């Protein structure tokens, strides 16, 4: 099965439909029994996450019979699904609500994400904002685009390179282990600006549209990163693990730094990882 603009557009419509049917009707209407912890108080799952994932998975199996679907909530029950990404002929990763903590808090900063993986290669990605009802999407080789109902698609490009002390972006340092955590937190003062939206979906959208220069992540789950990683690539950016090696579809560690180009990657790496 080849992923092209037409069938990827159908996947985007599936994400929109899931948002309209399962996510937005529950937003700011979650009863206590509709939210529970997974691994920690900051790792939450809601009835909306599970219903939206089921909606999307059912649609993908109908559209692409025999495909592998690696959903965030499904992987909580069966972690072996991730390892199958590298060998599957056609697979999809799905994050039904990225930014669940924001969703639970009633903050309108969450997204629905999906990526298509063919024989280990990420070939399409989409990040849908249910609140704004717009979608950042990419099919490999076709650029990155913002699609808004009733408007012409807008091409996305990464920001122009600037020195580290002028770079603004997001550093997700909470999941780093010592001594790396202490080193990175100490050195963030060398950057132009640092934030954390608790939502990779909107951070990647911001990056691909040129509204910030970098993202730094430590914990890598494919559903959190493959959609945005491809968007960033197609918008002209450069990204790699902390050691400079490329990201693979099934990677879950090694960190990730996304910047406008390789020189910016080297500069921000030198700034954040400089010994004390």
Q: What percentage of the chain has pLDDT greater than the value 70?
A: 99
Output the pLDDT for position 39.
67
Evaluate if residue 126 carries a pLDDT over 70.
Answer: yes
138 and 183 both lie in a single domain: no
Q: How many domains does the chain have?
A: 2
For 87, the domain range is 5-155
Evaluate if residue 147 carries a pLDDT over 90.
Answer: yes
Range with the poorest average pLDDT among 155-159, 174-178, 212-216: 174-178
Domain boundary among 129, 155, 181: 155
106 and 51 both lie in a single domain: yes
**Tens digits of residue pLDDT in 23-60:** 999 999 999 889 888 766 677 889 999 999 999 999 99
Domain boundary among 103, 125, 155: 155
pLDDT confidence tier of residue 86, bands split at 50, 70 and 90: confident
Output the pLDDT for position 76.
79
Taking alpha carbons only, the member of 96, 93, 43, 97 closest to residue 250 is 93
40 and 139 both lie in a single domain: yes
124 and 188 both lie in a single domain: no
196 and 145 both lie in a single domain: no
116 and 186 both lie in a single domain: no
Return the CATH number at 248: 3.40.190.80
151 and 169 both lie in a single domain: no
151 and 168 both lie in a single domain: no
35 and 107 both lie in a single domain: yes
132 and 170 both lie in a single domain: no
Domain boundary among 121, 155, 189: 155
37 and 131 both lie in a single domain: yes
**What burial letters (b/e) apply to 116-133, b meaning 16+ CB within 10 Å?**
bbbeeebbbbbbbbbeee
Output the pLDDT for position 56.
98
Return the CATH number at 107: 3.30.540.10
Torsion of CA 177, 181, 183, 188, to 10 degrees: 160
Which class for 150: exposed (0-12), middle (13-18), buried (19 or more C-beta within 10 A)?
A: exposed
183 vs 32: which has the higher pLDDT? 183
129 and 241 both lie in a single domain: no
Range with the poorest average pLDDT among 1-5, 95-99, 109-113: 1-5
**Tens digits of residue pLDDT in 221-230:** 999 999 999 9
């Amino acid at each position: 099965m080849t992923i092209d603009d037409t069938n990827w557009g159908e996947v985007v419509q599936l994400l929109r439909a899931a948002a309209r049917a399962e996510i937005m009707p529950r937003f700011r209407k979650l009863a206590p029994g509709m939210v529970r912890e997974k691994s920690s108080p900051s790792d939450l799952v809601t009835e909306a996450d599970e219903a939206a994932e089921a909606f999307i998975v059912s649609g993908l199996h109908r559209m692409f019979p025999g495909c592998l679907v690696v959903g965030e909530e499904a992987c909580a029950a069966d972690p072996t699904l991730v390892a199958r990404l590298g060998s599957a002929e056609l697979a999809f990763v799905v994050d039904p609500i990225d930014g669940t903590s924001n969703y639970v808090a009633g903050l309108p900063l969450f997204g629905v994400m999906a990526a298509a993986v063919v024989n280990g290669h990420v070939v399409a990605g989409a990040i849908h904002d249910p609140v704004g009802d717009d979608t950042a999407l990419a099919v490999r080789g076709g650029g990155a685009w913002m699609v808004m109902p009733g408007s012409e698609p807008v091409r996305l490009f990464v920001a122009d390179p600037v020195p580290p002390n002028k770079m603004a972006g997001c550093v997700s340092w909470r999941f780093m282990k010592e001594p790396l955590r202490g080193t990175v937190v100490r050195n963030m003062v060398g950057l132009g600006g640092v934030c954390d939206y608790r939502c990779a979906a909107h951070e990647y959208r911001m990056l691909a549209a040129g509204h910030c220069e970098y993202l730094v992540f430590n914990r890598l789950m494919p559903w959190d990163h493959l959609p945005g990683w491809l968007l960033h690539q197609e918008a002209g950016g450069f990204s790699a693990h902390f050691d400079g090696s490329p990201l693979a579809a099934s990677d879950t560690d090694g960190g990730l730094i996304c910047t406008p180009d390789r020189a910016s990657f080297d500069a921000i790496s030198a700034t954040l990882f400089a010994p004390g």
